[in-house]
Amino acid sequence: MFDVGCWMLDVGIWMLDVEYLIFKIEIMEELKKIFLESGFEVKPLYKSNDSEENNQGVRNEEPGKFPYTRGIHPLMYRKRPFTIRQYAGFASPEETNARFQFLIKNGQTGLNVAFDLPTQCGLDSDDPRSLGEVGRVGMAVDTLEDFEIAFNGIDLDKITVSLTINGSAIVLMAMYFALAKKRGYDLKNLRGTAQNDILKEFIGRGTWIFPVDKSVKLVTDTIEFCATHVPKYSPVSVCGYHIRESGANPVQEMAYAFSIAKAYSDETLKRGITIDEFASRLSFNFDIYGNFFEQIAKFRGGRRLWARIMREEYKALKDESCWMRMIAGGGGAGLTKEQPENNIVRTAYYALISALSGTQTMALCTYDEAYTIPTEKAAEIALRTMQIMIHEMGICDTVDPLGGSYYVETLTNQFEQEIKKEMQKVALWGGIINAVSTGKIQEAVSQQAYQREKGIQEGKTLKVGVNCFQNDEENKTVEFHPYNQSAANRQIFKLKEIRKRREITLVNITLNKLKQSAKQNINVMPDVIDAVNAYASVGEIIHVLKEVYGEFDEPIFF
């Protein structure tokens, strides 16, 4: 017999389901859609099927095993915390040494050296074009003697050094190797890093010197030399950081960096060196600002993709060749001059992102870095931020604590796919070297930078203290780091004195030999080392190479 009561109950339940569904749809329509800077839409809720879609088997992945989504080491920070390597260096080598000693005394475990603009551009301190810039935003270096002063009292076995230098990198690397050898260190065991990523200079910073092809040739010279003579040294730190700071979105940051790393690898392979002889010493420098989860997934997806590129495309056999070793910690573009104390909070979040992303080295921008050279107090706060995180927050207790999050794993998958697509776009432009030479990459980054700045000015991209939660009574004045003219004068005087003391005949012999090697298109690193040992200056060495290689003429787009 037909049960009318049950039927009516079923209809009632069905009607409730329909009403709930209509209510849910209305709520969803009222929710404002959220898009990350990378272009991914963020759903209000993520479930297991979201993270499993297009998944590469991360559920069964372990840290320290290919493809390293969860980290390149099995125990990560449980075994050893990331290296703390704050960016430092200003005015003279003497003052820079004092800052280095201060940071080491306060617990810093590595050095990250900032050079002034003339040094980065291959100019001596007494060059007319250097006027007003000597030691203004980094350490001035003219000869090997400046390195001897800057690293006086620093054990290069215990404190690894990163040289943040690009256009003139081959000269500064030569100085570091010459210094180490003079002090009795075995170059076979010497560790450290040179930024030495010239392609990103054409994209993001502008301290280029030579044409693109010759610039890449010099980078390849350093990789080849290190593979043979300084095998534990990292001759290149590929910098997605500066590309992102110039306006690129997170997908572009990773895609362009990987395309650059592939270009350097391709050129090195042409020298007859196998991938496993140098790939493990390639490293990356990445940026952090913006959405918390987006940044973490960017690195997890990128690490997995880079491992696949090296294993599948380049047939690397060693696990270390597939590691995406990186320094990451903070992006200056995320900081503000407005309400600068907020930057202390921002950098703490950046540090947390970096740690949760599996970085090997961390460097935080200081809260005042948005508008001036960091003060000693600001540098100490940044250092303490990282130390508090390591020693008080339990961040080193377990590996990849966000692994398995439906949201994070979904974003990780999306990043791997989108970075790959962006790299394919670069390939269609004729590869990264051609894309940089013709300005294609620069144009793409500039367009992205314009859209981001437009979003901030129109209030669509919220920036606390800048376009929302502003304080009309805020004191707009900030304290700038004073320019030390006396230090600049001393640097110029010191250079003139070195020129009087050195053996000019030996200087000329080494520079002439360097010129001949450049003309023959062979590796010039050994000759540059000979020149710096003779106390030839940065400007003199770069001038010789300019005579052979010429200078870069930037393409302009309107």
Q: Tokens at residue 257, please? A: 């960096």
Which neighbouring-strand residues pair with 87? 112
Q: What residues contact 407, with CB distance under 8 A and at least 6 apart?
A: 46, 50, 51, 293
d(CA 236, CA 268): 12
Which neighbouring-strand residues pair with 234? 193
C-alpha separations of 516 from 69, 390, 528, 544, 554 in Å: 47, 52, 12, 10, 27
Q: Tokens at residue 28, please? A: 């969803």
Task: Measure CA of the first residue to CA of the last residue in the chain; give whole Å.
Answer: 82
Name the nearest CA neighbour of 302 among 418, 223, 215, 401. 418
At residue 464, the 3 state secondary structure works out as strand
pLDDT at position 478: 78
Q: How would you label 380-410 residue by residue, b for 16+ Cβ within 10 Å and e otherwise?
A: bbbbebbeebbeeeebbeebbebbebbbbbb
pTM: 0.92
pLDDT at position 482: 80
Q: Tokens at residue 132, please? A: 């007003």
pLDDT < 70 positions in the chain: 1-30, 53-59, 555-558
Q: Tokens at residue 112, please? A: 């990250």
> Rg of the Cα trace of the chain?
26
pLDDT at position 54: 56
Residue 326: Cβ within 10 Å count: 28
Q: Give CA angle at 445 (89, 291), nearest 5°.
A: 75
**In degrees rounded to 5, what are phi and psi of residue 35?**
-120, 135
In residues, how long is the chain?
Answer: 558
Q: Tokens at residue 245, please? A: 């700071």
Contact assessment for residue 406 and residue 52, using Cβ atoms and an 8 Å cutoff: no
Q: What residues contact 285, with CB distance under 8 A and at least 6 apart?
A: 195, 197, 237, 238, 239, 240, 241, 242, 326, 327, 328
For residue 192, the 8-state DSSP code is E
Domain boundaries defined on the chain: 235-397+405-457
C-alpha separations of 332 from 12, 135, 287, 390, 551 in Å: 59, 20, 9, 22, 30
Contact assessment for residue 232 and residue 242, using Cβ atoms and an 8 Å cutoff: no
d(CA 162, CA 181): 17
Residue with tokens 């999306």: 414
HEC readout, 226-269: HHHHCCCEECEEEEHHHHHHCCCCHHHHHHHHHHHHHHHHHHHH
pLDDT at position 31: 74
- DSSP letters of 265-281? HHHHHTTT--GGGTGGG
pLDDT at position 28: 52
Contact assessment for residue 82 and residue 355, using Cβ atoms and an 8 Å cutoff: yes
Residue with tokens 């503000």: 336
Superfamily classification of domain 235-397+405-457: Methylmalonyl-CoA mutase (3.20.20.240)
- DSSP letters of 124-138? -TTSGGGTTTTTSSS
pLDDT at position 2: 45
Name the nearest CA neighbour of 62 among 398, 326, 298. 398
d(CA 321, CA 310): 7
Contact assessment for residue 309 and residue 262, using Cβ atoms and an 8 Å cutoff: yes
d(CA 196, CA 282): 11
pLDDT at position 9: 47
Q: How would you label 257-285 residue by residue, b for 16+ Cβ within 10 Å and e otherwise?
A: bbbbbbbbbebbbeeebebebbbbbbbbb
pLDDT at position 319: 98
Q: What residues contact 235, with CB distance under 8 A and at least 6 apart?
A: 173, 194, 196, 219, 222, 223, 225, 226, 281
At residue 163, the 3 state secondary structure works out as strand
Residue with tokens 């600001």: 378
